[in-house]
Structure 1
Amino acid sequence: MNRFKSLLRQANEVRYLRPEVALMEPCFDVLLSLVDASVDVTLVDRPSCHAYFITTYPERSLELEKRDNFTVLEHDELPQCGIGLLETRVTISCYGQDSGSVQAVIDTDVPAIREWAESMYASFEIDARPVNREAYLE
């Protein structure tokens, strides 16, 4: 987690496919500071993850939602691992299937992995939809 946080702090853009609660919740303050520093952040995750953040952190979620540099999209069928595009690094996060806990976060700067990650991210982002915040607050 410390390595992931340090990569986040250095990022000038963050795109993450399936970041999951277990990975992002410990980094929520870092994420907020990035958005405050005008870093573009786009997260594509499952509806249940967005529901968690919207209901657990309603004020912060609303504040982030109003920012032009923060985009949250949802998709019902995401890959088993998370894929993060952070500056010059790619992160791949592995989660426990039953618990959703973070089992491993791998980071690399290998160009072939970057190509794969960009392709995977784009293939899911194109079908993702904006989060309807009100639907989770009913």
Structure 2
Amino acid sequence: MSDELVELARRASALAVLRDGALDRRELQERLGVSRPTAHRFTRTFEDQGLVERSAGELSLTPMGAVIAESVAEFRETVETAQRVEPVFEIVSDADPTFVREAFGNATVTTAEPGDPYRGVRRFMSLVEDSERLRGVDPTAINPLHLDGLHARIVDGMETDAIFLPGVVESLLRSNPDRAREAFESGNLTLRVHDDLPFGLTLCDDRIGIGLYDDETGLLKTYIDTASPAAREWAEDVYADYRDESTLLSEHSELSELLPAEAETND
């Protein structure tokens, strides 16, 4: 990156202020919260570069300045978004900057903390409470602290279609036979089995979420959710791929025997 581009990035705030309309030097100084010499240096540099022009004592962006100001703002937003949702790149490794901005620019990022390891799970459950339909891909077992809550939502009518690893499905059904029977008998639960699930993905009514898990503990370490249409489209495609590659529990050669008899026709 040239020195000029670095300087533009550093002075992105000044360009952003001028995108809102013409200002005199004192107004620019006040809006930026900088000293008079600093404001003078900004305006002189921008004038020398042909980015601003002066008319009737006010500074405004030139046509070229407007284009560059928009580009610098997009660059800054992309960098800030990328830093905030860094875990996403473990999953969407080939994402282009525009997709990252559009899909995750306004995402909510919830990270586990030493004194509160279940922050991400609580965030997920808050979305489930308001959702009439839940689809998901999950590489780990359901957190026992929230199993009752999920069971209640399913029995109460939340249509749920979930994809798990074989071992997770087996553990879930063997450890919770009564809950499993009630959930399947409600007709609202469909379980599928997949052998390779590297991350978690949830699709609720209004938001989609990505879950990243700790390799050692299996706990959810980061949950990133968003309502953006771009992220929804991406999540729908990813979920469809895993669904197509998965096996219905009722058709699984080894695990289907764990299904309650009444549920085999509902799965």
TM-score for the superposition, normalised by structure 1: 0.87
User: In structure 2, do the counterparts of structure 1 residues 91 and 26 end up closer, same or farther at CA, with 3 Å as the change threshold?
Assistant: farther
Whether 2:225 is the aligned partner of 1:118: answer no
CA–CA distance in structure 2, aligned partners of residues 36 and 57 of structure 1:
14
In the other structure, the counterpart of 2:134 is 14
Residue identity matched to 2:211: S
Alignment of 1:1-138 (within 5 A): 1-18=121-138, 20-21=140-141, 23-78=142-197, 80-131=198-249, 132-134=255-257
Identical columns (%): 27
CA–CA distance in structure 2, aligned partners of residues 19 and 58 of structure 1:
20
Residue identity matched to 2:241: S
CA–CA distance in structure 2, aligned partners of residues 46 and 14 of structure 1:
18
Segments of structure 1 that go 5 or more residues without pairing to the other structure are none
Segments of structure 2 that go 5 or more residues without pairing to the other structure are 1-120, 250-254, 260-267
CA–CA distance in structure 1, aligned partners of residues 129 and 143 of structure 2:
13
> Secondary structure at the residue paired with 2:208?
strand
Aligned residues: 134
CA–CA distance in structure 1, aligned partners of residues 195 and 220 of structure 2:
20
CA–CA distance in structure 2, aligned partners of residues 41 and 56 of structure 1:
19
Residue identity matched to 2:181: L
Q: Name the structure where helix makes up a greater proportion of residues.
A: 2
CA–CA distance in structure 2, aligned partners of residues 24 and 112 of structure 1:
29
Contact 2:155 2:188 in 1 (8 A): no
**CA RMSD, aligned part only?**
1.8
CA–CA distance in structure 2, aligned partners of residues 26 and 100 of structure 1:
15
Contact 2:139 2:200 in 1 (8 A): yes
CA–CA distance in structure 1, aligned partners of residues 209 and 139 of structure 2:
10
User: In structure 2, do the counterparts of structure 1 residues 24 and 15 end up closer, same or farther at CA, with 3 Å as the change threshold?
Assistant: farther
Q: Name the structure where strand makes up a greater proportion of residues.
A: 1
CA–CA distance in structure 2, aligned partners of residues 24 and 14 of structure 1:
16
Contact 1:54 1:133 in 2 (8 A): no
Contact 2:208 2:232 in 1 (8 A): yes
Greater relative contact order (Cα < 8 A, sep 6+): 1
Contact 1:19 1:84 in 2 (8 A): no
TM-score for the superposition, normalised by structure 2: 0.47
